[in-house]
Structure 1
Amino acid sequence: MAHGLAGLMLLIAGGAGAQPIEAHDFLPFDPAQARIGQLLFYDKILSGNRNIACATCHHHDLNSTDRLSLGIGEGGAGLGPARAPGDIAKRIPRNAPGLWNLGHRSVSVLFHDGRVERDPGFPSGFASPAGRHLPDGLTSALAVQALFPMTAEFEMAGNPGENPVADAVAGAVWEGWPLLTARVAAIPAYADLFAAAFPEVARAEDITIVQIANALAAFIGTEWQSFDSPYDAFLQSGTPLPEAAERGRQLFFGAAGCAGCHSGPLFSDQSYHAMGLPGFGPGRIRKHDPIPRDVGRMGVTDDPDDAYRFRTLPLRNVALTAPYGHNGAYPTLRGMIRHMANPVGERMRWQPQLAHLPTVARLAEYDFVLMEDRLETARQLETVEVPRVPLNSAEVDDIEAFLHALTGASAAERPLGRPDTVPSGLPVD
């Protein structure tokens, strides 16, 4: 990092909120625990029917995403755009976000609606869907987040009646964690690895869901660190950006107003904003709500002022993680930039064919039914909180060029990568 007057000048040149990242800005994770996490991340043992892994929706080959607008979880087969939906009952309601830099110390909220966040008001130190049932000893918000996909019916747990985990989480999510822990602890190779990596584990019986989640967090938090982009070189040493990217940088931090929300080292204010993205898919059903919609942050807080607000997604390596938006509404950065600059206008022009949804005959008549509800569309657009920013085509190109300059030079070179085998013996991918 540049220091003194030179460093100050670089930060000023970078724009408001421009901050370099260094290795010490990340939480400390144990490499041995990360190695366990790598295996668990790809091991289908953590799913109710032993047929889906964390990596299914966050794969190395797909830059930690699945490249679908709304994912195909339990019941599907294959990876990414080629994943066959089979006879699924429901799509996953939201887009699978990239995992880049989630181990950064500044990360305090996770999930599109922020339902996991640091909160000293809870004994565990974190607010989450488990409330006060969240166990002690989880080392980060990332570890807390790792607990919930494996207990979600349509993501990894499966449908009630299919397996004991699905039956357990139908009562409460935390009731499934001991069953998953017992599966892992019963595998001698895992028991040995946990005993070697965690001081509190001497034998298989000592393993809990806490160590499993902390191992997953150690892997995710170290595997997808990325801070060697052209923009980082610009901040650290003054290396000029390509001309288009430089023009885009000036727009991003200036007239286009992007940095108003995409601020800080990860380009996210970690807050929530209503941007009028089209509603489609199954929504996140809420008790007493007859409409299958996604009200975003309001689903966590029950505060009407939070309706249709979603977490500002970080932008480092954003060019690698299409499609964009909390529901993957836009397949290209260009389309998303245009929407952010003119949410109401672009929302009215949006067409269903922009969404990447594998065809499921039984779901086809419901996928876009919400868009036919004019009152619901009006409610969504009434919450939009940003004014229109006129951008011409060349300016959109320049902002897109700047966003590409946030891609790490070594993004394709991950420390551990995909394992060839996992201790359960289940197939990888």
Structure 2
Amino acid sequence: MSGLHQITRVLDFSLGRARSQEKPNHGGFQHFRHFFRSFFLGVLLAAPAHSAELPSPLTDDDFIAFDRKQAALGQLLFYDRILSGNRNIACSTCHHPVLGTGDGLSLGIGEGGEGLGPNRTALVDDNRIKKRIPRNAPGLWNLGTKELHTLFHDGRLSISDDYENGFNSPAEEWLPEGLNSLLAAQAIFPLVAQFEMAGNPKENEIAGAVHNRIDASWPILAKRVRVIPEYGKMFVDAFDHIDEPGQVSIAEVGNALAAFQAIEWTSFDSPFDQYLSGRKAALTDAQERGMGLFYGKGNCSSCHSGKLMSDQEFHAIGLPPFGPGRTRRFDPMVRDVGRMGESDRLEDAYRFRTPMLRNVELTSPYGHNGAYPTLEGIVRHHLDPDGMLAKWQPKRLHFPTHRGWNQSISWSIRICVKWPGRPGFGMSSGFHFPIRKFTDLVAFLKALTGTTSVSSPSFGIPDRVPSGLPVDRP
């Protein structure tokens, strides 16, 4: 017997006893009984059923307090191509606000490409780039929270004292001193990544230094910036311990970039956030029903948990394989093993970090490799990974090609790896949604989109940058 059926039986029994004790010829009891039963069940059915508790609302206290002068400096650095090896790409190229702080591509076209977003080209003939970026560019929302302890799809950067510098990172013990946050540490790694911003060996002094040792390039980048008079003055004004531009190191560059990103893309004013803060009318009926599924039978909150809507752990959900892969040293197969590439533990194979979900509507495509261009697609995949993988087609990708460029590399993983046998394959909620409930769940995900935080950022896109190089614009 269902729980609802049991409740109606109890109601009928209680009302029946009341009827047996009433005085004869007391009119209107049947009408009262019908009204009370209907009213009670209406309230019961209208209330969303949450098998998991809703999180506490995010507040300003959940975020690191960054300095606004440093953020104003970081804004210019974020949009300035001076930080790339060949001076041809900025942080904003792959994380642009008009594209939800991503690039709108399944797999990005980094150093050497031209253009912005889905219109970015890989060039042609002798000028074409050699390799796509192997993973999707993640959004930058709420990366300044105190609770955040792990970054990158595979978690290769985390707060840790393994190397006695506060972080476990690809630079290990060579990570520069003075970085004031996880976000600041993250900010300096794309600058020295070959296919992201550094370029190829022999092309420039940055790429050449990285080829020697990862920390050899950061002092060169810091000098590039501080010798520009406008930047030099801003560093002195923004940092109390900097008395003259010659003292500026990559740590100040990273700290300024972190301050800008944290302040610019803090977002907790979505309809869902308003609901958590007590404004129950902030959600539509469909969004509230979707919230009930998210925190109930859909089991979404088992991974997308807490204030950040992420457990910051790693899970394998069986996304379709494609792209150049992120091959490990000594690995004979072209593949992306996810967390195992960092941990070297077999049980971590093909697991990727649970993304946070604020503004998820804005950050397509979805998945560590951007396999699905829509929220509907990635949600369906979570519900039925085996079925969705079987019918997935490359035409779903936001994956521009130019004159047949890079086709063999783009599909090398798909050719080389027997993916269905991998650990963790086949994860799903175990709950099959009818169409209406599926639509409600997607509606709830769209209720995570910020309002003023999205439409009116603190800084915006600068008109110019001190280097004089072009600024990325749509």
TM-score by structure 2 length?
Answer: 0.86
Q: Quote the offset at 1:200 in angstroms.
A: 1.3
Give the structure 2 partner of residue 233 of structure 1: 274
Structure 2, unmatched stretches of 5+, are 1-46
| Pairs within 5 Å for 1:214-363 | 214-240=255-281, 241-360=283-402, 361-363=404-406
Deviations 1:199-220 (A, max 9, x none): 1111111000000000000000
Matching residue within 71, 75, 79 for 2:112: 75
Q: Quote the offset at 1:382 in angstroms.
A: 5.0
- Give the 3-state SS of the residue equivalent to 1:184 in structure 2: helix
- CA distance, structure 1, for counterparts of residue 49 and residue 436 of structure 2: 25
Give the structure 2 partner of residue 423 of structure 1: 466
| Pairs within 5 Å for 1:2-401 | 15-86=52-123, 87-240=128-281, 241-360=283-402, 361-373=404-416, 376-380=418-422, 383-386=425-428, 388-401=430-443
- CA distance, structure 1, for counterparts of residue 48 and residue 227 of structure 2: 52
Give the structure 2 partner of residue 412 of structure 1: 455
Q: Quote the offset at 1:178 in angstroms.
A: 0.7
Q: Quote the offset at 1:68 in angstroms.
A: 0.3
Deviations 1:325-366 (A, max 9, x none): 000000000000011111222112211111111104231123
Deviations 1:259-289 (A, max 9, x none): 0000011110001001101111001021111
- CA distance, structure 2, for counterparts of residue 199 and residue 141 of structure 1: 21
Amino acid at match of 1:113: D
Q: Quote the offset at 1:393 in angstroms.
A: 1.9
TM-score by structure 1 length?
Answer: 0.94
- CA distance, structure 2, for counterparts of residue 12 and residue 119 of structure 1: 39
Give the structure 1 partner of residue 44 of structure 2: none
Q: Quote the offset at 1:14 in angstroms.
A: 9.9
Question: Quick check: which has more Rg, 1 or 2?
Answer: 2
Give the structure 2 partner of residue 3 of structure 1: none
- CA distance, structure 1, for counterparts of residue 143 and residue 321 of structure 2: 27
Q: Quote the offset at 1:381 in angstroms.
A: 6.3
8 Å Cα contact 1:344/1:381 also seen in 2? no
Structure 1, unmatched stretches of 5+, are 1-9
Distance 1:11 1:220, change over 3 A: farther
8 Å Cα contact 2:314/2:354 also seen in 1? yes
8 Å Cα contact 2:48/2:292 also seen in 1? no
8 Å Cα contact 2:107/2:399 also seen in 1? yes
Q: Quote the offset at 1:387 in angstroms.
A: 5.3
Which segment is superposed worse, 100-109 or 170-179? 170-179
Q: Quote the offset at 1:384 in angstroms.
A: 4.2
**Count of aligned residue pairs for this structure pair:** 419
Q: Quote the offset at 1:380 in angstroms.
A: 3.3
- CA distance, structure 2, for counterparts of residue 428 and residue 384 of structure 1: 43
Distance 1:70 1:254, change over 3 A: same
Percent identity for Structure 1 against Structure 2: 51
Q: Quote the offset at 1:368 in angstroms.
A: 2.0
RMSD value, Cα: 1.7
Q: Which runs of 4+ in 1 moved over 4 A?
A: 10-15, 384-387
